[in-house]
Amino acid sequence: MCENSEHENSLNGKREELLESSKILKPSHKRSSTDRTFIGFDSDSKTPRLDVVPASIKSMNKSSPKNARFIHGNYDRYYGYRNAADFNDRRLDLFANHRTFFEGCSIMDVGCNNGLVTISVARDFNVKRIVGIDIDRHLVDKARKFLLNEKRNSEESGVSFPFNVDFKVGNYVLTNEKLLELEVEQFDTILCLSVTKWIHLNCGDDGLKLAFRRMFKQLLPGGRLILEAQDMKSYKRRKNLTPNIAANYKNIKFFPEMFDQYLLSSDIGFEKVFSIYTPKNDAKGFQRPIKVFVKGSSSIS
């Protein structure tokens, strides 16, 4: 089941075509079929649980068409495109107005790509600890290289930046609902930025709901999920990337406009939601609302 929708508008459509052409993006590649991936922490919250690389990643290495390499939104030059020259993501300016979401906090960045947002958050907001997880090993390797560079240039040591950052490879969507029982509350803040579409297309309604449930379970009471979800229009151009995606797309009943209600329902249990901004970005397709879902301080996971 697990494995992205017509023009967001014609302009975005063209941009996305460019994104998928090899002129702009390098494919993610060179994965071993024996790779094992992080799927969560054990109940001691330190020991990572490992699983085999998701079938969708494995199969795309073999005979998939070129654009199927990006079936998870795992674009290698995502930020280069998104932010033109230097890394200067406008969402970070937005986060700077909400420093309490980060300062002194334990944070998870789901779908961290090559780690540039993760590292910037760690560097700029004095976080206690931040873990970035991504399904694409090649991107996580890049993230680790950026981090190593920061460490080499750092005069700090111990636990502050850049030693407060960690990257893991893994599918955030658990292979089995039962594994949710092993999740422990450990994060003050979970970032889920432009990832829901990819989880949705690859893992369907059930997979995305499972991911939301996992986020809730991993949050400490009073913690928050910072969610930047793509809208349904943006799914359409990706709907035929793979047969699995086509099937999942066809079966979607849990539309993005229903996410708020679901996250606030007793199925999940967030106490409240508020919008922090719709960031402006020169690349129009990236003007997405960012919402904060707060877990009540007495919530039971």
Ligand X SMILES: C[S@@+](CC[C@H](N)C(=O)[O-])C[C@H]1O[C@@H](n2cnc3c(N)ncnc32)[C@H](O)[C@@H]1O
Question: Of 279 and 299, which has the nearer Cβ to ligand X?
Answer: 279
Which tokens hold the place of 50?
Answer: 């490992």
CA angle (107 as vertex; 164, 38 as ends), nearest 5? 85
Residue 155: CB minimum distance to ligand X, A: 28
Instruction: Let me know if 47 is exposed, middle or buried by CB neighbors in 10 A (0-12, 13-18, 19+).
Output: exposed
Euclidean distance between the first and final Cα of the chain, in Å? 26
Contact between 16 and ligand X by CB under 6 A: the answer reads no
Contact between 111 and ligand X by CB under 6 A: the answer reads yes
Question: Of 74 and 299, which has the nearer Cβ to ligand X?
Answer: 74
Residue 121: CB minimum distance to ligand X, A: 11
Contact between 263 and ligand X by CB under 6 A: the answer reads no
DSSP class of 193? E
Contacts of 213 (CB under 8 A, 6+ apart): 180, 267, 268
**What does the per-residue mask of binding to ligand X show for 171-200, with x meaning CB under 6 A?**
xxx-------------------xxx--xx-
Amino acid at 296: G
The answer to whether residues 3 and 240 touch, using CB atoms and an 8 Å cutoff, is no
Residue 8: CB minimum distance to ligand X, A: 13
Phi-psi region of 204 (alpha: psi -120 to 50; beta: other; left: phi over 0): left
Contact between 235 and ligand X by CB under 6 A: the answer reads no
Residue 157: CB minimum distance to ligand X, A: 29
228: which strand partners?
Answer: 193
Question: Of 77 and 272, which has the nearer Cβ to ligand X?
Answer: 77
Residue 215: CB minimum distance to ligand X, A: 12
Residue 27: CB minimum distance to ligand X, A: 12
Contact between 72 and ligand X by CB under 6 A: the answer reads yes
- Omega before 48 cis (within 30°)? no
The answer to whether residues 216 and 268 touch, using CB atoms and an 8 Å cutoff, is yes
Cβ atoms < 10 Å from Cβ of 152: 8
Contact between 117 and ligand X by CB under 6 A: the answer reads yes
Residue 91: CB minimum distance to ligand X, A: 7
Which tokens hold the place of 124?
Answer: 């700029």
DSSP string, 87-136: ---HHHHHHHTTGGGTTT-EEEEET-TTSHHHHHHHHHTT-SEEEEEES-
Residue 89: CB minimum distance to ligand X, A: 7
Interface with ligand X by CB under 6 A: which range of 15-23, 39-47, 57-65, 71-79?
A: 71-79
| Out of 5, 113, 196, 299, the residue judged to bind ligand X by CB under 6 A | 113
Contact between 286 and ligand X by CB under 6 A: the answer reads no
Interface with ligand X by CB under 6 A: which range of 150-158, 165-173, 240-248, 264-272?
A: 165-173
Distance from C-alpha of 116 to C-alpha of 259, rounded to nearest angstrom: 27
Which tokens hold the place of 222?
Answer: 């009073």
**What does the per-residue mask of binding to ligand X show for 121-140, with x meaning CB under 6 A?**
------------xxxx--x-
Q: Which residues bind ligand X (CB under 6 A)?
A: 72-74, 78, 111, 113, 117, 133-136, 139, 171-173, 193-195, 198-199
